Structure 1
């Protein structure tokens, strides 16, 4: 199977924050979304691109066929978050976690999507962006079935279990990805497209909160090796432990002072949340 150098997969389209950027860059896009309301929103937003076939929307939720206990049923339960649409998931544990954080879910049925079959149907993309709550690793596992891999892949990385985080890196490594960039998504609005953009045409684009942002050759951070990248996450997880959703610093005044100091010295959104971008070893 050949790689399609002008193709990007947007796995977790949401409101089209990333799809819009990729389309304007001149790429063809295969976008995946499980929430029917968001699908309808994007069908209106990208009507011209859908008609021209520059964009294809795959409706439904990606599942892990290995753990599908009801293979005869074409549908699966989807927890549509009423408060934060980006938190929609098929993972019941993720849904419970989100409810503990003060949000409410509406349970609906959506179509099951086998990601391996989609790769077979649409081809291997140049860049694979993955951001689907609880199912990112399923997409990485599907790549094992193919000799050809995307040049670049990004996922929203684990922020609760360091063991799971390391498992994500092992999936990357076993797929042949050897270089990594760690991007704080809390700073996404500050990202600036390089004037000499190597990913499509220069747009002078402004990213909104919720977007993945720059990718591939346009990312400004230095590439890191497997061990160095994992060690970088040790420091990030310390921030999660102290100041994260369930951090040990619970006193409001102390938390405010600590966050202010951390953001002043690091110039980063702390504790933030991070995407891991990976470059395949076959890429020069």
Structure 2
């Protein structure tokens, strides 16, 4: 493991990389969308020039796909994916997709050539599991991992958590993402200097010991996601209330009062894991 390296897998517009760079880490960003790659090359031209940030362009996909892969570039840039079914699902929500062909990235090759990072942030719609699976072939593990959790299939959540446990992770948190934009963290850079940061829209927030709240064991995180999926069932994209938004606000208020629920409903979550 390389103690001063972070992988930002799903670089997007650099919302997270900005925080990692401010903390003094070297960052390897992986991004499929060519427009977002150009954006980040401009935004971070100084860090790219110095070598603090390296950007790899292409889409992570299975070796069986060959040297290139079809990528569904969404009108909502956070929803771009190699997964045809996921693209169809987002189109039903009003986000059109454009098919483009990109070079395929083998994440195992990246681990071997660049090393295993201290922190691995994964947010690549439909390919998160591939990034985790690639760690099986490495002798070391990142100290911390964050990965976007599914909102539709509880079975996928259990499979993802099971893989994390298989990889050696024993501590977990489910972190609500809807309230990250505009939130502030005060932490330290690698050199010990104080760092204050306000997270911009699209950022996934702090990681590691900068996260609030207790770590949960495997059974605890499974129970936590059961309650989260209850919220998805009542308030999520496919819920009855989503079809009748005029009813959502009063129902949410009553639900919070009766259950003690705090924060956004239903929002969406990242799973954080620690060795």
TM-score, scaled relative to structure 2: 0.94
Does 1:223 pair with 2:218? no
Written as runs of structure 1 = structure 2, the 5 A alignment for 1:68-217 is 68=64, 70-71=65-66, 74-82=67-75, 84-189=76-181, 191-194=183-186, 201-217=193-209
Partner deviation per Cα, 1:110-133 (whole Å, 9 max, x = no partner):
110000000001001000000000
Change over 3 Å in CA distance of 1:10–1:268 after alignment to 2 = same
1:93 is displaced (CA, Å) by 0.7
Change over 3 Å in CA distance of 1:276–1:200 after alignment to 2 = farther
Structure 1: 5+ residue stretches without partners: none
Partner deviation per Cα, 1:257-284 (whole Å, 9 max, x = no partner):
123444674231110100000001xxxx
Does 1:11 pair with 2:9? yes
Residue 232 of structure 1: aligned partner: 224
Say which is worse superposed, 174-183 or 252-261, in terms of deviation. 252-261
1:159 is displaced (CA, Å) by 1.1
- Separation (CA, whole Å) in 1 of partners of 2:189 and 2:251: 37
SS of aligned partner of 2:72: strand
1:203 is displaced (CA, Å) by 2.1
TM-score, scaled relative to structure 1: 0.91
Partner deviation per Cα, 1:166-206 (whole Å, 9 max, x = no partner):
00000100000000011000110354314567896432110
1:234 is displaced (CA, Å) by 0.5
- Separation (CA, whole Å) in 1 of partners of 2:231 and 2:144: 27
- Separation (CA, whole Å) in 2 of partners of 1:200 and 1:80: 40
Q: Calculate the aligned-residue CA RMSD, in Å.
A: 1.7
1:146 is displaced (CA, Å) by 1.1
Residue 242 of structure 1: aligned partner: 234
SS of aligned partner of 1:126: strand
Change over 3 Å in CA distance of 1:200–1:190 after alignment to 2 = farther
- Separation (CA, whole Å) in 1 of partners of 2:229 and 2:36: 32
- Separation (CA, whole Å) in 2 of partners of 1:270 and 1:167: 24
8 Å Cα contact 1:127/1:152 also seen in 2: yes
Partner deviation per Cα, 1:89-121 (whole Å, 9 max, x = no partner):
111011000001111001111110000000001
Does 1:275 pair with 2:267? no
8 Å Cα contact 1:78/1:107 also seen in 2: yes
Residue 61 of structure 1: aligned partner: 59
Residue 258 of structure 1: aligned partner: 251
1:7 is displaced (CA, Å) by 0.2
8 Å Cα contact 1:183/1:275 also seen in 2: yes
- Separation (CA, whole Å) in 1 of partners of 2:135 and 2:38: 29
Partner deviation per Cα, 1:1-24 (whole Å, 9 max, x = no partner):
xx1100000000000000111011
SS of aligned partner of 2:267: coil
- Separation (CA, whole Å) in 1 of partners of 2:188 and 2:69: 44
SS of aligned partner of 2:145: strand
